[in-house]
Amino acid sequence: MLHTRALQLVPQKERDHHSTPGILMVLLNYLPLDQTVWTSFLKKQREEYSQFLREMIIQPGISKAKSGCSREDVTMEDHPLNPNPDSRWNNYFKDNEILLQIDKDVRRLYPDMAFFQRPTDYPCQLILDPQNDYETLRQRVEQTTLKAQTVNRNRSGVTNVSSPGKALNLYPSNEYEVMPSGSEAHWEVVERILFIYAKLNPGIAYVQGMNEIVGPIYYTFATDPNSQWKEHAEADTFFCFTNLMSENRDNFIKSLDDSQCGITYKMESVYSMLKDKDLELYLKLEEQNIKPQYFTFRWLTLLLSQEFLLPDVIRIWDTLFSDKERFHFLILVCCAMLILIRENLLAGDFTVNMRLLQDYPISDVHTILTKAEELRDNS
């Protein structure tokens, strides 16, 4: 298995828990299998990410002016009211709409644990250097006043229209305290990763739920005992997330829903497999008109990241990404989750069963993964 090969590449002292950064980077096709080139490869990638920060976060015409430093001249050819769709200011205002949605989502990332609200040990010096006084994304969100209403876009295609002021008031002032100068919270790092991804991938930009995909990757890197992984968690997370999204992005593109690579096909695959493995349970769910999209949409799109505690999500991902047919194995895991609560589902009515499926009762992921392997072996 790829996981065995990845383990062999990681020093023994770093194998105390399942997903070390090195293993995850190999499994997500970020680090090459040739370990001798890791150092030079990582240096090159991290420098490239720093360039992304300079180009997309630190912009001369937008950075805060400081005494002795003047803003870039704003001419008639490029000013805030310029109607040209290619205007830098026009792009800036469009970016703000995406940024406001990202900001709302990352602030509430894994609310059951305090990690993402805590300060990182390695704040981005490129942006937070007091000598430069650049505008951070957090400051940009707090200071922006868009004239148009903000449209929040979620994966189901529903648009929620609200004023930016109202959106910003969603966060009580005492819930996310302002960090001391030169510091930033982990959620702010995640926000930057998602914003840069959206800028580099305008075809998909940002869709609600991507925050749940990037969170476990960043957590794995930023909590590793090895300080070298922690220090570069932002850049490495960005590239791993980008690689994972290259495989998973079709789930976030509504126009592909009904294609063979779309989410509808995958949701129906869960029920097709259940019909083959447990006909009685399948017929019960069909009889109650419990459609797969009622619960498998979230399971599949977010790779089960909202169904379990974060350490358990990482354990599932470790097995999932190790599998050469990783997304077929995800279908097996979903089917296993249904079969493991079959007695409850067979006894329950529509309301009880929907509650079970939307708040999955089993927390032992080892049992779930073992059942999934059993289903595959019996196929």
Specify the pTM.
0.83
Dist. CA 213–CA 304, nearest whole Å? 9
Amino acid at residue number 17: H
Going by C-alpha positions, the residue among 25, 67, 63 that lies closest to residue 237 is 25
Dist. CA 50–CA 187, nearest whole Å? 19
> What is the H or E stretch that residue 150 is in?
strand 150-153
Residue ranges of the alpha helices (H) in the chain? 2-9, 21-27, 38-56, 88-107, 125-128, 137-143, 164-168, 186-200, 210-222, 227-231, 233-248, 263-277, 279-287, 296-301, 310-322, 326-340, 342-347, 350-358, 365-377
Dist. CA 46–CA 363, nearest whole Å? 37
Pull the structure tokens for residue 134: 């650049």
Work out the number of other CB atoms within 10 angstroms of the CB of residue 44: 10
CA dihedral 155, 160, 162, 165 (to 10 degrees): -30
User: What pLDDT was estimated at residue 155?
Assistant: 55
- Taken in order of first residue, the domains within the chain and their CATH numbers are 20-58+84-249 (no CATH), 254-378 (1.10.472.80)
User: What pLDDT was estimated at residue 80?
Assistant: 58
User: What pLDDT was estimated at residue 87?
Assistant: 63
Q: How many residues does this entry show for the chain? A: 379
Going by C-beta distance under 8 Å and a sequence separation of 6 or more, which residues neighbour residue 73? Answer: none
Going by C-alpha positions, the residue among 24, 86, 96, 66 that lies closest to residue 240 is 24
Could you give the 3-state DSSP secondary structure of residue 316? helix
Measuring CA to CA, how many Å separate 187 from each of 47, 115, 117, 347? 22, 9, 6, 42
253-259, long-range: CB < 8 A, 24+ apart:
253/204, 254/155, 254/157
User: What pLDDT was estimated at residue 326?
Assistant: 86
Q: Largest alpha-carbon pair distance within the chain?
A: 75
User: What pLDDT was estimated at residue 112?
Assistant: 87
User: What pLDDT was estimated at residue 214?
Assistant: 97
User: What pLDDT was estimated at residue 60?
Assistant: 40
Which residue's entry shows tokens 């929907």? 354
User: What pLDDT was estimated at residue 77?
Assistant: 52
User: What pLDDT was estimated at residue 100?
Assistant: 92
pLDDT along the chain (379 residues), means of 10: 47 51 94 93 97 82 42 50 62 85 93 93 88 80 56 49 41 57 93 97 92 97 95 98 91 73 89 97 98 95 95 94 90 97 97 97 96 91
| pLDDT tens sequence across 167-181 | 444 444 444 567 788
User: What pLDDT was estimated at residue 160?
Assistant: 46
First and final C-alpha spacing in the chain: 20
Pull the structure tokens for residue 103: 């900001």
